[in-house]
Every structure is written in C-alpha cells, then in structure tokens.
C-alpha cells in the first residue's frame, strides 16, 4: 500500500478529510464533481489543489458502493451474530453477492459465538466458497485471521445494527475507542452508533467503520442483473456448462446441474433458496423498469 497516496478518510456536511503524507487535511470538493453526478466518498484516492483546500481530482475507482458509501474496497467483512439479532441468510447472501459483483472479497464474520452456536451458519456456508470466521473474544480466536485479511488492503464492515461491528473494531484496534450500543429488546436490534463511514489505518491496512443498516437496505448495495446473478454464487461455478440447456437459469429446468448439486447436498439449500428469491426480485425489477 503506497503511503504517499492521498485518500478520503471521511466526509461530513460537504467537508472531506483527506489523509496525506503530512497528516489529515480538511477540504471541499470542486463543483465540477456535482455537475458530473459524482460524489466523493471515503476510500477515494484523490489529488488536491496546491494549497490543499480543494479536491481537484478523484482517481479511477476499483469499485464504489452507495451503502455503505465507500470506494476501492478489497475485502468486505459481512458481520452476523448468532443471536440478538438472529441472522438472515438471505441478507448475508445478498451482501456477499453484491461484494462479488463489485470485485470485492466477501468474508463472513460470526460474532456472539459465546451466546449461541454458530454451527448452523458454518454448515450453511461450508460449500459456499466464501470464508467464514467465528469469533470468540474470550480466547481471541478469529481475530488474527481477520487481521491477516486487513493487512495491505482496504476493508469494510457491514451488517445489521447490533451484530457487534463496533465491538469487533474495538477488539482489533482498542485505541480507537468506538462507541457500542445496546440491543433494543423490543426491536431486537441495536441503536446505530456510527453516523458516517470513517477509515482508520490499523493492522497494517485500512479499515472502514461503516454505519449499520436495516436488512431491506442490503439490496441497495447494487442491482445485479438476473443474468449475472449466478456468477455471484461461487458454489454454483463448478457446475456451469453441465446443465442440459444452454442459458439455464437453475430454477425449474430439467437436467440442471446446479439443482442436482443442491439435491445431493453439494450446495446448501439455504444458499439456493436465496438465489431463487434474488432471481425473482431481479426479474420483477426488470419488468417494472420497462
């Protein structure tokens, strides 16, 4: 990671905080970005004006997400808890698919393994091709694995509020002293404790602390065309080209190798159920947009 690179650490109310070799500077963005429909976000690599007061240029992006608003991600940690709130595999699969579609490595991180077993989640994703890390704070198990993913990369956390993102960040970098929230017993989810994306240099890489968001908003990460959806499920890939019909959608066609793999237990039934739901949503969206 080039230390000389200038990048946005966070943006608040039209002001952007850019890390430079000389420290963090506060600046604004030139009006040309608004005219072009471009919004600077945390993670953007930028060039500044001579006096350092303006962002002159946003360098080409590897990728950009709207929610959480962050650019140039390498790894997306999808944080889920074993309980309080109970994880939704559909939401996890939507987030993982969005990451893969944007050329980002998804990594599932399961918190609160001391409160309830994570065996079911581990079983659901055993053949997914997506790494799953179980955290045990009392022993520190899992933290070193996360640190290795962070090293040399720009990473972000995402997941429903209350799953323990701020607690995890505190465990990785206690000097940051991130505020943690209590779980609402009525709603079963936590209060938002992070209001904007902010990037910190930790563990030999960069980590974006991102606002929590509700499950329905997971779909807003990106809209994946139904034709591309199968390619965001790594567990389907070994069976491509083996279906009886070219252009198989892996839903109801006879001789579908993916469906056969599900029946044989080679692909998780929950993963396949998520694919069907996401396909129908993408199909309905396409019809609605006509």
Indicate the annotated binding residues for GTP: 111-114, 159-167
* CB 197 within 8 Å of CB 41: yes
Length of the chain: 290
Q: What are φ and ψ of residue 199, in 5° steps?
A: -105, 130
Q: Which residues are annotated as a binding site for Zn(2+)?
A: 243, 248, 250, 256
In this structure, the number of other CB atoms found within 10 A of the CB of residue 95 comes to 23
Q: Which residues are annotated as a binding site?
A: 111-114, 159-167, 243, 248, 250, 256
CA pair distance 125, 270, nearest whole angstrom: 9
Beta strands, E only, the chain: 7-12, 15-20, 23-29, 46-48, 54-58, 64-65, 70-71, 75-81, 105-111, 132-134, 154-158, 198-202, 205-209
- β 154-158/23-29 pair status: unpaired
C-alpha to C-alpha distances, 159 to 20, 39, 43, 79, 193, nearest whole angstrom = 30, 23, 19, 5, 13
In this structure, the number of other CB atoms found within 10 A of the CB of residue 241 comes to 9
């Amino acid at each position: 990671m080039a230390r000389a690179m200038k990048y946005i650490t966070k943006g608040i109310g039209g002001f952007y905080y850019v890390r430079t070799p000389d420290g963090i500077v506060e600046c604004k963005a030139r009006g040309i970005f608004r005219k072009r429909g471009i919004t600077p976000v945390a993670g953007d690599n930028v060039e500044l004006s001579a006096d350092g007061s303006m962002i002159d240029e946003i360098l080409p992006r590897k990728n950009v997400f709207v929610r959480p608003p962050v650019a140039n991600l390498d790894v997306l940690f999808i944080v889920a808890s074993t309980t309080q709130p109970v994880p939704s595999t559909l939401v996890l699969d939507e987030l993982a698919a969005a990451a893969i579609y944007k050329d980002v490595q998804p990594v599932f991180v399961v918190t609160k393994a001391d409160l309830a077993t994570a065996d079911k989640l581990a079983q659901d994703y055993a053949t997914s091709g997506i790494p799953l890390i179980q955290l045990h704070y009392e022993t520190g198990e899992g933290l070193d694995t996360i640190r290795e993913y962070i090293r040399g990369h720009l990473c972000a956390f995402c997941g429903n509020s209350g799953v323990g993102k701020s607690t995890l960040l505190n465990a990785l970098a206690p000097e940051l002293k991130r505020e943690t929230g209590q779980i609402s017993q009525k709603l079963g989810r936590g209060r938002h404790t992070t209001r904007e994306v902010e990037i910190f240099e930790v563990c030999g890489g960069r980590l974006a602390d991102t606002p929590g968001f509700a499950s329905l908003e997971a779909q807003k990460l990106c809209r994946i065309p139904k034709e591309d959806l199968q390619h965001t499920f790594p567990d389907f890939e070994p069976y491509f080209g083996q279906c009886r019909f070219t252009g198989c959608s892996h839903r109801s066609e006879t001789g579908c190798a993916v469906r056969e793999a599900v029946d044989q237990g080679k692909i998780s039934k929950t993963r396949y159920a998520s694919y069907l739901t996401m396909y129908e949503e993408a199909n309905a969206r396409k019809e609605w947009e006509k």
